[in-house]
Chains A and B, each alone.
Chain A
Amino acid sequence: MRTDYRLGIDAGGTFTDFVLADKSGQVRLYKALSTPQDPTQAIRNGLALITEDLGVPAEKIISNCDLCINGTTVGLNALIQHKGAKTGLICTAGHEDSLEIRLGHKEDGYRYDPEYPPATMLVPRYLRRGIRERVLSDGSVREALNEADVRAACEVFKAEGVETVAISFVWSVLHPDHERRAGEILREMLPDVILTLGSELYPQVREYTRTSTAVVNAYLAPIMKRYVTAVDAYFQSLGAKQPVRYYQSNGGLAIGQAMTDRSVYAINSGPASAPAAGQYVCEPFGKTDVITVDMGGTSFDITLTKGGVTNVNKNIDFLRYRIGVPMIQVETLGAGGGSIGWIDEMGLMQMGPQSAGSDPGPACYGQGGAEPTVSDANLVLGYLNPDGLVGGRLPLDAKLARAAVKTKLADPLGLSVERAAYGMFTIVNANMVNGIRRVTVERGYDPRDFVLVGAGGATAAHICALAADMGIDTIVLPKLASGLCAFGQIISDVKYNYMATAPLRLDNDAAYARIDSLFNEIEAQGIAHLKADGFARKDIDIRRSLDMRYVGQVHECTVEIGTFKVDAKSIAKIKEAFHKRHEELYTYSERHSTVEVVNIESTVYGRVDKPKRMALGKGTPVAKALKGHRDAVFSADGKRVKTPVYDGGLLGTGAKIAGPAIIEEVTTTIVIEPGWTAALDDSGSYLITRERKGG
């Protein structure tokens, strides 16, 4: 970092977090209310907070930043609220409805529900125009592009005021010429329309996925373009030296133009920086297998990194829309501080997914909320300070919390208030653990091999319990937990995904040569793109993966491979990696069966210098940081235990605290359960560990 600052801005549902790192390694966290109606307003407000705190005008900070990074929910919100642009689709005649047929499936969980509505169409049927043309499964042209059909579609779009168009033909991935030609005609007839080609955006097999991805991209592109233009202009007016970088759901940065061309990469960028942050805070402890969990007010996000590689999803339904492009795998549950406890029709206690949100909020906020929430339970259990959160700025009412737990849960279930509250704590933890199972066990990973990193304001009260439930013995909890995602953005690299498709059986030299040349081809594109972004070749890294399967299977397993030449010699290594992964996931492999490759992907990274690591230095002795005691509950019998409470702000490097204990940081409260010990590291994180019982 050659300049004074680096700034990360992460827009969340309630707050927009600002993380400002300076040359010395100090990191400051600011929070401004999000302003979904005018997202740039929150940025102005946040910069005002920073100016107020540091006494330095915004222009001075921004012009002294080496990078300004923005994680935005603009695309996400447009998709959630169906407020994207008016979109048209050009597709192969006969296949206009794949978008609406959605593979003929109704989502699980609603099988007999008579009121679960179909997904809202981003492009209504009359704007999905079929074109006569056809490429076959071997890439040959069966029917040439009918240009008159394309022109007729353009006329319809013109008359209807369509702003953005996706073009996606069957098998265009093997023969993109028809899409390209249709695009030329469109540009000529509708020069102002934003264009998305399926074969460029997502060059992989699966027509429905490609078409849907292209449509989501087209639908969001004009919205993203307007936003990026406004933000870029604002930062330029403040004297920014570099273009603003935007955070993508693939866990990397991009410049504004890429966000317009590839808007679909913007949709879940919020939690996508968690893995980078998790890895970063674990580095001082030499740990590379990391699960990062982020519990906020309404949701709980889980991400996983193994050996420095983060799990990525492709071809998933996101908000009911099929998205092909790689997104950091984020498992999101309705479990947060505001999650409501209730009793279902069977008489079982449930937690969430409904949330009291921030209005009225948990009962203990005293804003009229009457439903018992996780925060209320944590207050009853003695975990949270009744004097209030965020350094007393948000006072809590323990009486209201107790009353809500008692009337809604404890009395109906015949339990004491403490037992009911501990039950709420246990069930919400169990929900989160089942979510963690989905990213670990279901994907063939043993959670016990991982370190658990806590992010988000509400996680720290639950982190020991979660770790214990998963059999995890090591936790890393940064003091900065509540702004960890924004921090993750400022230590991330620029990242673009390049893909190709080549369904090839791995039993001949020609196939190996083809795979090798495809890798080289797409990587050349990626390198050119990054060079244009200002990266030197030495700062560009490449990672490769192959989607493979046994011949006859239809779903692939993604396997990371090195950047070696793919040939008859190295292929054994590749196949072996696949067999192993298949075993991990599904308990067996078929070493005698032929393996085939379907999709090819290279991720190109433009390496960004990292800010200097924080050095905490000495603090007061632990005994001096003791603020007092609270009677807290750590067991299902509801028994209260006198528990010391520490002021985390006073602790320094090397401080060691054994549970049961509570450590209060300004933006989070850490509960150290009995049996666990927290040690504060110079890097600003608590390393929380326990002796594993019975080996």
Chain B
Amino acid sequence: MAKAAKKPVKVDPITLSVVRGILETTQREMTLSLEKTARSSVFNLAHDYSTALFNAVPEMILQGQDIPIHLGSLIPAMKVVAGYFGDDIHEGDLIIHNDPAWGGSHAIDTCFYRPVFWKGKLKYWTVCKGHLTDVGGPVPAGYNPGAKEIYAECLRIPPVKVWDRGQPRKDVLNFILTNMRARRDQEGDFNALIGACQVGERALLNMLEKYGEAEVDACIATLLDMAEKQMRGLIASVPDGTYEGAAILEDAGHGFGDFEIRAKVTIKADTCHIEISSPPQIPYFINSYEGNSYSGVYLGLMMFAQLPPPYNEGLYRCVTVDMGPKGTLCNAREPAPHMNCTTTPMETLTDAVRLAFEKAVPSKVSASWGHANGLNIAGWDKRHDEEYVTMVLATIISGAGATPSQDGWHACGPECCFGALTSGDVELLEYSYPIIIHRYSLMTDSGGAGKFRGGSGTAWEVEPLNDDMTFITFGEGRRIPAVGAAGAASTMTDEKVGRLELVKGGDAKTIRENVIEVIKPGDRITNMNPGGGGYGDPMERAVEKVVWDVKNGLVSLKGAKEDYGVVITDAATLAVDMNATKALRADRRAGAN
């Protein structure tokens, strides 16, 4: 609560608080509108969208609670879009854009930009971005593990006006939608995104009318300055120096081997410079263009900063980023394929940055969260005689990392979303798509071992209802578990990682790569997501907590012994042999040293 006050600000402090509240409410209204109206389950069930407000500069003046994947990338994208049109922006215009080479994240995240005019002058932009279910290209849902170039992934949309001075350009919209699968859903989602932009516009104009342009401008400028000051204060509390973090990006089937992504964080007084180095880009869909990489870096920064909302661009004024040379994995250039970039390599990039900050400030750390390895599904819905295609967000719900004060949340990840997603109700999914979900559960022994345990990952088991179903896997985290913090490490690692179990024509196999396959009714796939990393030495975890986890099936008897050094002698009563436990734990600690 109340800390010592900073020096007084110039604008009326009361109006300032009020304007901040209005901006937050406006963004919330946009978000709600989008969620309630969207067709794509990726929006309306899964919250895979973001809304933001920009001023005329354009600087981001507010971003909501939405998903960190979009945290950084809206900022460069908005600047590119505004720059492209320059003076050719008019009241009633509406711009669409998805292309990563034009500042976007991945092309399936499609963005609408609405310039907001007040008395004939451009004042704001309301911006909505969301993950469509399809964006054209050879493979349904956009993720094509076989793509060697971006041209083999999707329809690329540079900044294009779809409304011109209030007139919808039906021909342009039709051109775009004609290139997409499940057109009805995409069209509905366009309407939802546009509607949300207008909802935001309505609220911003009300604010200007009520408080006046000069007063509001001053308040917004002050809010940006205050955020800047806040981040500078945080950075200044870190000892000057250079801190390095590195994380391994596993080979998820491309055959080029594992890569290392490195982050070098240099703190000097109240500024922070982050330098990324990554290997050359590869002909596989895991290259990240610069806009997307900003999100990865900013998420690593936020895992350290741990700031509550609201967020605006002022936060990043004291932060400079060098993504490394063009043509590298984290600073890709055309024609690099990229569709998987918002999870892979973004989460590894985030880990590298957070590990650098862990060295700088060991007390302010969260263990890494499980990375995403998920499924897209597509096929023909015989019930309605229509095509379906979607990413299944329920398949990427991994465990959260533990923190210095508590166990990681179960089923809350992946890292790139940080709890912002929702996985969708099992009945709504079965109603929307011809599938049977046999299982959606936590997984025994999946949380990383530690004094505080990582959260449990999830298993999602599905069977096609009445026809062939194509599935496409993406992501990674199927060999390397989530990185723990403060010395946490697991002995049983097989249970901590993600993987896909396929039962096809009676044969079972485990898949750890990104593949495209077709299965039939009677076949089943179970996608498993990794648990979160633990925090601290697992030998220090209270014995009762381990027993409670065993009682609840989150840790097995074997896990209790191997991961935590707790010897349970009776499976029914869960009686613990305290002497054997003490000895085993001492042994383990000695072994670790």
Q: Chain A interface (Cβ within 8 Å of chain B)?
A: 94-98, 100-106, 108-115, 117-118, 124-126, 134, 136-138, 142, 170-171, 173, 205-209, 342-350, 354, 408, 412-415, 422-423, 426-427, 430-431, 434, 437-438, 441-442, 503, 550-555, 557, 582, 585-588, 590, 593, 636
> Would you list which residues of chain B between 1 and 56 have a CB under 8 Å from chain A?
1-9, 12-14, 16-18, 20-22, 24-25, 28-29, 32-33, 35-39, 41, 44-45, 47
**Interface residues on chain B, size class:** 35 or more
**Bound: A138/B393 CA distance, A:** 23
- A-B pairs, top 9 by smallest CB distance, nearest first, are A106-B419, A412-B5, A94-B439, A108-B65, A114-B403, A342-B2, A104-B397, A347-B6, A125-B552
Tell me if B427 and A104 are in contact (CB < 8 A): no
Q: How near does chain A come to B187, taking the closest CB pair, in angstroms?
A: 9
Tell me if B425 and A442 are in contact (CB < 8 A): no
Output the residue of B22, B404, B428, B554 with the most chain A CB within 10 A. Answer: B428
Tell me if A349 and B411 are in contact (CB < 8 A): no
Which chain B positions have C-beta within 8 A of A138?
A: 383
Q: Which residue of A lies closest to B196 (CB)?
A: A586
Tell me if B421 and A414 are in contact (CB < 8 A): no
Output the residue of A117, A205, A426, A554 with the most chain B CB within 10 A. Answer: A554
Tell me if A349 and B428 are in contact (CB < 8 A): no
Tell me if A111 and B22 are in contact (CB < 8 A): no
Q: Which of B3, B25, B410 contacts A101 (CB 8 A)?
A: B410
Question: A101-B458, A170-B427, A348-B16 are known contacts. Are A554 and B404 too (CB-CB below 8 A)?
Answer: no
What are 9 sample pairs from A and B whose C-beta atoms fall under 8 A apart? A94-B441, A97-B440, A105-B47, A113-B308, A125-B554, A205-B427, A551-B184, A586-B33, A590-B188
**Bound: A345/B3 CA distance, A:** 6
Q: Which residue of A lies closest to B443 (CB)?
A: A97
Q: How near does chain B come to A335, taking the closest CB pair, in angstroms?
A: 12
Tell me if B428 and A109 are in contact (CB < 8 A): no
Q: Which of B306, B397, B411, B436 contacts A114 (CB 8 A)?
A: B306
Query: Is B103 interfacial (CB-CB < 8 Å)?
Result: no
Seed contacts A110-B419, A415-B8, A434-B24; 8 additional CB < 8 Å A-B pairs: A104-B393, A112-B306, A347-B9, A348-B13, A348-B226, A426-B18, A552-B184, A555-B36
Tell me if B5 and A585 are in contact (CB < 8 A): no
Q: How near does chain B come to A519, taking the closest CB pair, in angstroms?
A: 21
**Bound: A95/B429 CA distance, A:** 14
> Would you list which residues of chain B between 418 and 447 have a CB under 8 Å from chain A?
418-428, 430-432, 436-442
Which chain B positions have C-beta within 8 A of A137?
A: 427, 430-431, 465
Q: How near does chain A come to B301, taking the closest CB pair, in angstroms?
A: 10
Tell me if B198 and A555 are in contact (CB < 8 A): no
Tell me if B2 and A343 are in contact (CB < 8 A): yes
Which chain B positions have C-beta within 8 A of A110?
A: 308, 419
Which chain B positions have C-beta within 8 A of A104?
A: 393-394, 397, 411-412, 421-423, 458
Query: Is B203 interfacial (CB-CB < 8 Å)?
Result: yes
Query: Is B147 interfacial (CB-CB < 8 Å)?
Result: no
Which chain B positions have C-beta within 8 A of A434?
A: 21-22, 24-25
Q: Which of A342, A437, A441, A590 contacts B1 (CB 8 A)?
A: A342
Q: Chain B interface (Cβ within 8 Å of chain A)?
A: 1-9, 12-14, 16-18, 20-22, 24-25, 28-29, 32-33, 35-39, 41, 44-45, 47, 64-65, 68, 184-185, 188, 191-192, 194-196, 198-199, 202-203, 226-227, 229-230, 302-303, 305-309, 366, 383, 393-394, 397, 400, 403-406, 409-412, 418-428, 430-432, 436-442, 458, 461, 465, 551-554
Q: Which residue of A lies closest to B307 (CB)?
A: A112
Which chain A positions have C-beta within 8 A of B438?
A: 94, 134
Tell me if B25 and A111 are in contact (CB < 8 A): no
Tell me if A100 and B411 are in contact (CB < 8 A): yes
Which chain A positions have C-beta within 8 A of B45?
A: 554
Question: A106-B419, A115-B405, A586-B33 are known contacts. Are A205 and B305 too (CB-CB below 8 A)?
Answer: no
**Bound: A354/B309 CA distance, A:** 18
Tell me if B195 and A105 are in contact (CB < 8 A): no
Tell me if B551 and A126 are in contact (CB < 8 A): yes
Tell me if A136 and B430 are in contact (CB < 8 A): yes
Question: A101-B458, A590-B191, A593-B188 are known contacts. Are A343 and B3 too (CB-CB below 8 A)?
Answer: yes
Tell me if A209 and B425 are in contact (CB < 8 A): yes
Question: A112-B305, A126-B553, A426-B14 are known contacts. Are A588 and B1 too (CB-CB below 8 A)?
Answer: no
Which chain A positions have C-beta within 8 A of B461?
A: 94
Tell me if A95 and B230 are in contact (CB < 8 A): no
Which chain B positions have C-beta within 8 A of A108?
A: 64-65, 420
Q: Which residue of B lies closest to A210 (CB)?
A: B427
Tell me if A347 and B5 are in contact (CB < 8 A): yes
Tell me if A109 and B442 are in contact (CB < 8 A): no
Tell me if B406 and A117 are in contact (CB < 8 A): yes
Which chain A positions have C-beta within 8 A of B37?
A: 553, 555, 582, 586
Which chain A positions have C-beta within 8 A of B303?
A: 112
Tell me if A348 and B36 are in contact (CB < 8 A): no
Q: How near does chain B come to A381, taking the closest CB pair, in angstroms?
A: 14
Q: Which residue of B lies closest to A552 (CB)?
A: B39
Q: Which of B4, B20, B24, B394 contacts A348 (CB 8 A)?
A: B20
Which chain B positions have C-beta within 8 A of A430?
A: 17-18, 21
**Bound: A137/B430 CA distance, A:** 6
**Bound: A582/B33 CA distance, A:** 10
Q: Which of B24, B68, B397, B432 contacts A554 (CB 8 A)?
A: B432
**Bound: A110/B400 CA distance, A:** 13
Tell me if A206 and B428 are in contact (CB < 8 A): yes
Which chain A positions have C-beta within 8 A of B2?
A: 342-344, 408
Question: A348-B13, A552-B185 are known contacts. Are A114 and B25 too (CB-CB below 8 A)?
Answer: no
Q: How near does chain A come to B189, taking the closest CB pair, in angstroms?
A: 9
Q: Which residue of A lies closest to B31 (CB)?
A: A108
**Bound: A124/B458 CA distance, A:** 17
Which chain B positions have C-beta within 8 A of A136?
A: 430, 436, 465
**Bound: A375/B307 CA distance, A:** 31
Question: A430-B17, A434-B22, A438-B25 are known contacts. Are A588 and B430 too (CB-CB below 8 A)?
Answer: no
Question: A430-B21, A554-B432 are known contacts. Are A102 and B411 too (CB-CB below 8 A)?
Answer: yes
Which chain B positions have C-beta within 8 A of A555?
A: 35-37, 44
Q: How near does chain A come to B458, taking the closest CB pair, in angstroms?
A: 6
Tell me if B428 and A205 are in contact (CB < 8 A): yes
Tell me if B422 and A103 are in contact (CB < 8 A): yes
Q: How near does chain B come to A391, taking the closest CB pair, in angstroms?
A: 33
Which chain B positions have C-beta within 8 A of A441?
A: 29, 203
Q: How near does chain A come to B452, taking the closest CB pair, in angstroms?
A: 10
Q: Which residue of A lies closest to B67 (CB)?
A: A111
Q: Which residue of A lies closest to B65 (CB)?
A: A108
Q: Which of A97, A170, A442, A503 contacts B28 (CB 8 A)?
A: A442
**Bound: A126/B549 CA distance, A:** 10
Tell me if B14 and A437 are in contact (CB < 8 A): no
Q: Which of B24, B198, B410 contacts A118 (CB 8 A)?
A: B410
Which chain A positions have C-beta within 8 A of B432?
A: 554
Q: How near does chain A come to B551, taking the closest CB pair, in angstroms?
A: 5
Which chain A positions have C-beta within 8 A of B436?
A: 134, 136, 142
**Bound: A412/B191 CA distance, A:** 48
Which chain A positions have C-beta within 8 A of B306?
A: 112-114
Tell me if A208 and B551 are in contact (CB < 8 A): no
Which chain A positions have C-beta within 8 A of B16?
A: 348
Tell me if B440 and A95 are in contact (CB < 8 A): yes
Which chain A positions have C-beta within 8 A of B552?
A: 124-126
Tell me if A348 and B12 are in contact (CB < 8 A): no
Q: How near does chain B come to A548, taking the closest CB pair, in angstroms?
A: 12
Output the residue of B36, B302, B412 with the most chain A CB within 10 A. Answer: B36
Tell me if A636 and B406 are in contact (CB < 8 A): no
Which chain B positions have C-beta within 8 A of A98?
A: 426, 440
Which chain B positions have C-beta within 8 A of A106?
A: 400, 409, 412, 418-420
Which chain B positions have C-beta within 8 A of A170?
A: 426-427
**Bound: A422/B15 CA distance, A:** 12
Question: A112-B307, A503-B431 are known contacts. Are A95 and B14 too (CB-CB below 8 A)?
Answer: no
Which chain B positions have C-beta within 8 A of A100?
A: 410-411, 442
Question: A441-B203, A593-B188 are known contacts. Are A96 and B226 too (CB-CB below 8 A)?
Answer: no
